[in-house]
Amino acid sequence: MIPTPPPSITVFLDSIAGAFFVFIVMQKQSAYNISALRGIAGMFISELISGLFMPLIVGIENGLDKGMTESDLQLTNGFGFGMLCIHASVGRIVDDEKREDFGVSVEEFRRRLLLVNELYRIYDVDAFANKMTIEFVEKMKDAGWSANVGTSSNRKFNNQFKKACASKMISAVDERLKKLTQDEEE
């Protein structure tokens, strides 16, 4: 079972010397990688400054009536899941793969979310992979899951994902080199 996200996430806005800072305050939970969420929150800063900030709406309306369990809804309607969908560039699951401008297939939805979670580790990788079966994603589609997230073509997503992987790797190596340089100087 995937640990459930915190019941509420509070976002505080603070203006210091004309700059906006977003702080995500949440209960300490192993389900979220706090540093990954801080990095993802950087996206909101640019939206705040440009005046395009809007709420993230993700999930299944009246999901219990549509065959979803409480546990399912805590995942599919949660903030962490919404963050994965933003980075996976997908807001709908559709039947017709030719209509990828409106959504992606069940298989592609699953692939994108597993890839993005592997990169950012918002949820435990193994538990998330075990939950996100083809059957579960089909169940989500049938229940009307959606998010107010733009859907990118498979080609565009693949390119963005490759850039995100490279960027994360470069940052990790730069940090390691910085630490090694400091250790050598001591």
Domain that holds residue 166: 10-185
Position 128 scores a pLDDT of 97
Q: What is the pLDDT of residues 72-102, one digit of tens each?
A: 999 999 989 999 999 999 999 998 766 655 7
Q: What is the pLDDT of residues 144-182, one digit of tens each?
A: 999 988 899 889 999 999 998 998 899 889 999 999 998
Please state the domain count of the chain: 1
Q: Does any domain span residue 96?
A: yes
Q: Does any domain span residue 2?
A: no
More confident residue, 48 or 130: 130
N- to C-terminal Cα distance for the chain? Answer: 46
Q: Does any domain span residue 1?
A: no
Predicted confidence (pLDDT) at residue 35 exceeds the cutoff of 60: no
Q: Does any domain span residue 154?
A: yes
Structure token pair of residue 164: 């995100």
> Which residues are within 8 A (CB) of 94 and not within 5 positions of it... i.e. 6 or more apart?
100, 102, 103, 104, 105, 141
